[in-house]
Homo-oligomer: A and B are copies of this chain.
Amino acid sequence: MANLSLLLVAILALSLSSVIEATILKDFCVTDPNSLGCKDPKLVEANDFYFSGLHIAGNTTNPAGSKVTPVFATQLPGLNTLDISIARVDYAPWGINPPHTHPRATEVLTVLDGSLEVGFITSNPENRHFRKVLQKGDVFVFPIGLVHYQRNVGYGNAVAIAALSSQNPGVITIGNAVFGATPDISSDILAKAFQLDNTVISYLQSKF
């Protein structure tokens, strides 16, 4: 029973440490898999602020032809409470990072290699589409919460680094959220929302 209790404490701590807030009340608050809240500062070491391997290309052999390698607080516990994170994105030729939002972060994308078409769309009623083709060394901003995307428009692979203004920005891929929800959203709702007949909706739901 005591072991159970310890286990319970540890499990609950895991979920707790990733929700506590970002106003800094200490120099840092490293997530600790075995404790509540911050890791004991005496046990914190340089490796808690360290992540390796971001030079390794992600595997883009998938329908979208792209791969995101996140370095969020889950991967880098020293980021906890510090309101920032990064990610590497790889794109096969013509690969896309499909339309998505980050509910908790603005994104700043820097192209390390290749050519990317990027864009975001503003909220109602304008739904303005801001679009740009980026080359190596170009930087673009996707404001918090807005739908945005990237596409490789060069001949080879493309690579970018994204900086995000949250330790856990969240990703809502529109296709997955709308057509791939578990359980499905009623097809009547989606048929009406997208002005498609139920057959196309069912097809879409089978794909996601």
Contact = CB atoms under 8 A, between A and B. Distances in A.
Contacts of A22: 21, 23, 25
B56 A84 contact: no
Nearest to A130: B46
A98 B21 contact: no
A98 B139 contact: no
Contacts of A16: 16, 20, 36-38
A165 to B, nearest CB: 4
A163 B9 contact: no
Contacts of A123: 27, 103, 170-172, 177
B172 A50 contact: no
Given A18-B26, A36-B12, A182 B129 contact: yes
Interface residues of A, number: 133
A15 B40 contact: yes
A149 B144 CA distance: 21
Interface string A176-188: 1111111111101
Contact of A27 (B13, B76, B143, B164): B143
A204 to B, nearest CB: 7
A63 to B, nearest CB: 7
Which of A117, A129, A173: most chain B Cβ within 10 A? A129
